[in-house]
Amino acid sequence: MAKLTGALLSFGARGQIGKTLVVSKWKGIPYARQHVVPANPRTTAQQTNRRIFALLREVYKRAPAAITAPFEAFASGRPLTGMNKFVGENTRVLQGETDLTNLIFSPGAKGGLPPISFSAADSATAGQIDVSMSVPDAPDGWTLTKAVAVAITNQAPDGIFEGVIVSAEDLTAPYAPNITGLDNDEYVVGGYLVWTKPDGSLAYSASSSDVVTVS
């Protein structure tokens, strides 16, 4: 039974109402939804989706701020977490895929402008990926703070995560962060820009990505 703090739904209610409605709060934001009986789907597609979900949660738990920061910024003030956004966005784009090529490293947050171009390549230096970004002009009052790049071991999205996540950033032109300390393997490499707005807050661009084999 829902616990009321005033007349029904006038000030607030929490819990189940007559097995038809559930009312609660998320991050201080009240919501209501239909009461449903949880299911336990077991089709092949649904089980694969669960494994993708589990892998992405593990990636986010291990991820450096280079991955979590833009998702946390996107979630700020919304009834979800950065992990919710990361898992939700990437579950959608990885369904039916055999690897992590389509992984989203930043959803874009607070209006950050993306790179005009993005490329990543195996470096002449052992264990390194060289990243290059062409950046747009800053809007009036904005400053380009840094370019961020992340490499994650490429693998099946519905397995147990066994790779590494390595990041790098460059705070000055030409904004070409080099990711170091990598083994010989195939990596999905993502990059995005971080801007400082006139009010001092940060804005994150959506990410671009490439696939690189370190040899």
HSE-CB at 94 with a 13 A cutoff on CA atoms is 28
pLDDT over threshold 80, residue 34: no
pLDDT of residue 40: 65
pLDDT of residue 32: 72
What is the pLDDT averaged over residues 196-211? 98
What is the pLDDT averaged over residues 165-175? 97
pLDDT of residue 4: 47
pLDDT of residue 20: 67
How do residues 40-88 score in pLDDT, each as one tens digit?
A: 667 777 888 899 999 999 999 999 999 999 999 999 999 999 999 999 9
At 145, which helix (H) or strand (E)? strand 143-153
pLDDT over threshold 80, residue 37: no
Q: What span, in angstroms and rounded, lies between the C-alpha atoms of 211 and 149?
A: 13
pLDDT of residue 10: 46
Task: Indicate the residue type of 203.
Answer: A
pLDDT of residue 210: 97
DSSP 3-state assignment of 171? coil
The structure's pTM equals 0.80
Domains of the chain: 44-213 (2.60.40.10)
**pLDDT band of 136, cuts 50, 70, 90:** very high
pLDDT of residue 21: 72
What is the pLDDT averaged over residues 122-145? 97
Q: What span, in angstroms and rounded, lies between the C-alpha atoms of 111 and 118?
A: 19
pLDDT over threshold 70, residue 120: yes
DSSP 93: H
- 187: phi then psi, degrees, rounded to nearest 5: -130, 145
Mean pLDDT of the chain: 90
- Token readout for 102 is 């389509």
Cα dist from 46 to 35, 43, 51, 53, 88, whole Å: 22, 5, 9, 10, 15
